[in-house]
Amino acid sequence: MGRAGNIRREPVAARGTRRHRKQGAMLSIYGNSSGRFCDGVSRRNFIRIGGLGMGGLALPELLRASAPSGGGRREKSIIMIYLPGGPPHQDMYDLKTDAPREIRGEFKPIRTTVPGIQISEMLPLIAKQMHRATPIRSIVGARDEHSNHICFTGHTLNSQKPSGGWPTFGAV
């Protein structure tokens, strides 16, 4: 490397160029003589053909899913009630009437306009309109965290964000 006579020099134009092999078609159903199977179809092309077949079978379902549905139905509204520092759920919607006295809330349950749903006696006007609402009682989390961030976004502060970020509750 130290001697100039041992260093191989190439012209500048030849340094960045590569010689390309002549390649055949991207997909050949008929095969070729260099294939590994008896009929000349390579394993890679065999998988490609199978994938195209599966894609062809799924195509009508994909097109149906992307088609507009509902004949011009209006989207329904949603109202999220977020009460930081508000009353606990066992005093409003989840009264736990079968729980021991020390666990359940101090308020009595009242019937609503929906059979089987009872809410607190402190919410009589909501009880009359319960047929227009849906209490969601299945929300659980991996951690016991009630910070504003997770309540507004549904994500923890240190979770991996998508490239565009997540919209906040007020952005909707």
What are the tokens at 97? 């009437």
Q: Tell me the per-residue pLDDT of 27-36, one tens digit each, with 9 for 90 and over.
A: 556 655 554 5
HSE on the CB side for 51, CA within 13 Å?
7
Residue partners of 119: CB distance under 8 A and separation at least 6: 92, 93, 95, 109, 110, 112, 126, 127, 130, 135
What is the distance between the alpha carbons of residues 89 and 137, in angstroms, rounded to a whole number?
10
pLDDT > 80? residue 171: no
164 within some domain? no
118's enclosing H/E stretch is: strand 118-120
Q: Tell me the per-residue pLDDT of 142-170, one tens digit each, with 9 for 90 and over.
A: 666 666 666 666 677 777 777 776 666 66
What is the distance between the alpha carbons of residues 55 and 62, in angstroms, rounded to a whole number?
9
170 within some domain? no
Q: What is the pTM of this model?
A: 0.39
Q: For residues 92 and 137, state if they share a domain.
A: yes
Q: For residues 58 and 107, state if they share a domain.
A: no
What is the distance between the alpha carbons of residues 47 and 4, in angstroms, rounded to a whole number?
52
Angle at 73 between CA 169 and CA 64, to 5 degrees: 95
Owning domain of residue 120:
79-158
1 within some domain? no
CA neighbor of 119 nearest in space, from 103, 139, 135, 132: 135
Q: For residues 85 and 55, state if they share a domain.
A: no
pLDDT computed for residue 67 by the predictor: 62
Q: Tell me the per-residue pLDDT of 50-83, one tens digit each, with 9 for 90 and over.
A: 777 777 788 778 777 766 666 666 767 777 666 6
Q: For residues 153 and 103, state if they share a domain.
A: yes
**115-141: average pLDDT:** 87
CA neighbor of 152 nearest in space, from 83, 49, 92: 83
More confident residue, 127 or 55: 127
Q: For residues 134 and 93, state if they share a domain.
A: yes
Domain total of the chain: 2
